[in-house]
Amino acid sequence: MKHVLAFALICLVAVSAAPAYAQEAPKPADPPAKVDVTGVWDMTVETPNGVIENVGTLKQDGEKLTGIMASQMGELAFEGTVVGSEIKWVLNIDMGGQQMAIAFAGKVEGESMAGIFEMGGMGSAAWSAKKRKQ
């Protein structure tokens, strides 16, 4: 009788645990969307002194970003990253012999992107850009 009771108890535990093992494993999150920002971008930078129009020529190689930002003040080369739809780069500007790093960060959505840039500890402002049609 003890063996029958023990067998019945083992079967009951096994049957009640089966649904826990039968559950599907959680599905992994979708990978970040792949974007390619290579091309020419018309950019608007909203500074405390007004809006500045820039043209960025960007080249993406995997997650590595390189480019040249051109404005009425000249051209500057930069490097950054594109991870998923997140984009970041830094412009190093010579301000009368002193260097200032301006860090851009934003999100790419199709043929446009937008974000915030930090002006070397002197505040932040918004930027946006649209990709030129080829």
pLDDT digits (tens, 9 = 90+) for 109-126: 999 999 999 988 888 999
pLDDT digits (tens, 9 = 90+) for 71-84: 888 999 999 999 99
pLDDT digits (tens, 9 = 90+) for 24-53: 666 666 555 579 999 999 999 988 788 999
Residue ranges in 1-134 assigned as alpha helix (H): 2-22
The whole-number pLDDT of residue 24 equals 65
Domain 39-131 sits in CATH at 2.40.128.120
CA angle, corner 41, sides to 101 and 61, nearest 5?
Answer: 75
**pTM, entire model:** 0.73
Is pLDDT at 69 greater than 70 in this prediction? yes
